[in-house]
Structure 1
Amino acid sequence: MDLQRMMTDDAFVEDGAGQSSGPYKTKFGDPTLVFYDQDIVVNEGDFIIQKLPGDRTRRHRVVDVQHSSGLGSIPPHFTVKIGAAVTAAAAPASNTYNIHATNVQVGNHNAQHITASFQTLVSDIDKSSSSAAEKQEAKSRLLRVLESPAVVAVLGGAAGGLIKLLGQ
C-alpha cells in the first residue's frame, strides 16, 4: 500500500515568528505525524496547524522532529511529535473604540500587563543594592522562566521582547 496516499489531511507550520507555510499532507489522529514532503521546514517549538470545520483551527506544539532517509519502499520522510492540541475559535471581528483616559489596556488575551511587570521587575533589580553578580543571577533566572515552552505559549511574541530586555 502506498503510504503517501494515506496522508489526506492538510497541515500548516507556524514558526516562532508567526510565519506560516504549507499546506503539507499528513494524517492527524496520532501524536506523531509523518510528512513525505522534503521541503517542509519544521523545528521544535513551532506549531502544526490543523484546519477544522467552521473556520476553527487546532494548534499542536512541535515536541520533536526526526528525519528518516527511508528504507526499501518507504521514501524519505520527517516524523514530527506533537503535544496536546489547543483549539482556537474563529478570529473575532475587529472593533474600533475611542477612549480618552490614562492607564488603559486594550486587547484580546494580550501580554501587555505581563511585559510591563517584567520591565518593572528588571528595572527594580538594576536599581537594587545587590551586587552585580546577584543582579545577573536574578536576570538569568528570569531568562530561564522565559525559555519555558509553556511560558512562550502564553506570552507569544512578547517573550522575545522580554528576552531582549534581559540583555541576552
Structure 2
Amino acid sequence: MNPFSSLPHDEFRIIDGQGEQSEPVKGIMSRNKVTVFDKTINVSIGDKVIRLLPGGNTEKYIVDDCHFQKGMGGIPDHFSITLIREEHKNKTISGQSINISNSSNIIIGDENVQSLNVVMFEQSMRAMVEAIGKSNASEAERSGALDQLRKFLSNPTVAAILGGATSGLLSLIK
C-alpha cells in the first residue's frame, strides 16, 4: 500500500518535445517539484508540464530535471521531477553589468539556464525542420533551407555550444 495515497494529488499533463500530450497524470506538487508514484510515465528534461488550476487558469512548467527512485522502506517507486515555471525560464538579472576583456572559455549562467536554453533551442530547431518539410516551397527551396541549417549546426562554435545536441539535430536534416 502506498502511504502517500491519502495525500492530495494534483492533476497535470506532460507535453514531450514533439508536442505529444500525455493522459492526465497525478502527483504531489510543491513550488518547483512534483513527485509521481506512477512508474509508467514518460518524462524527460525539457518536456512541458501543464497544470489546470481550479479557476480555469493554467500553470506551465518546463522539466529541469527528473529522477526515478526505486522504492524502499514502504515508499513506493516514484519519479522526482524538478520544474521551472515557463515564464521564469528566461529571467533576467537587472542592475548587473559584467565586462570581460581578452578572455576565452567563459560561461556566465544562472543555475541550469544554459542547459535549459540548449534544450529549448533543440526543440525549436526540430520544429523548424518539421515546418520546412511541410512547407509549400519547392523541393529546391526546402533543400536549400535544410543545407543552410546543416551548415549552421556544423559550425565549430555552434557545435561547441550545443554539445551532444548537435549530432541529434544534424541527423534530423536528411
With the shorter chain as reference, the TM-score category is 0.5 to 0.7
Trace 1:109-120 onto structure 2 (pairs within 5 A).
Answer: 119=145
CA distance in 2, matches of 1:25, 1:50: 10
Matched, 1:84 2:82: no
2:17 paired residue number: 16
The 8 Å contact of residues 146 and 173 in structure 2, kept in 1 or not, is answered as no
* Displacement of 1:164: 5.7
Larger deviation, residues 33-42 vs 45-54:
45-54
Equivalent in the alignment of 1:138: 155
Q: What amino acid sits opposite 1:74 in the alignment?
A: I
Shift of 1:8: 1.9
Give a deviation string over 1:83-125, Cα, whole Å, max 9, x none.
12449xxxxxxxxxxxxxxxxxxxxxxx98xx99xx59938x9
Show structure 1 runs of 5+ residues with no match: 88-110, 127-134, 149-159
C-alpha distance in 2 between matches for 1:139 and 1:12: 38
Give the structure 1 partner of residue 72 of structure 2: 71
Backbone CA RMSD of aligned residues = 4.0
Find the counterpart in structure 2 of residue 91 from structure 1.
Answer: none
Q: In structure 2, the residue corresponding to 1:49 is in which secondary structure?
A: strand
Q: Distance in 1 between matches of 2:16 and 2:172?
A: 23
Q: Distance in 2 between matches of 1:47 and 1:57?
A: 12
CA distance in 2, matches of 1:121, 1:72: 55
2:148 pairs, out of 101, 104, 122, with 122
Q: Which residue of 2 aligns with 1:58?
A: 59
What corresponds to 2:36 in structure 1?
A: 35
**Separation in structure 1 between the aligned mates of residue 69 and residue 159 of structure 2, nearest angstrom:** 37
Structure 2 distance, partners of 1:166, 1:40, is 26
Distance in 2 between residues matched to 1:62 and 1:7, nearest whole Å: 21
Normalised to the residue count of structure 1, the TM-score between the two structures is 0.53
Q: Do 1:67 and 1:79's aligned partners in 2 also have CA atoms closer than 8 Å?
A: yes
Distance in 1 (alpha carbons) for counterparts of 2:26 and 2:57? 19
Contact 1:69 1:76 in 2 (8 A): yes
| SS state at 1:50 partner | strand
SS in 1 for 2:66: strand
Instruction: In structure 2, list runs of 5 or more residues that go unmatched.
Output: 89-126, 133-144
3-state DSSP of counterpart to 2:39 = coil
Higher strand share: 1
The alignment of Structure 1 onto Structure 2 pairs a total of residues equal to: 119
Matches within 5 A, 1:146-165: 163=169
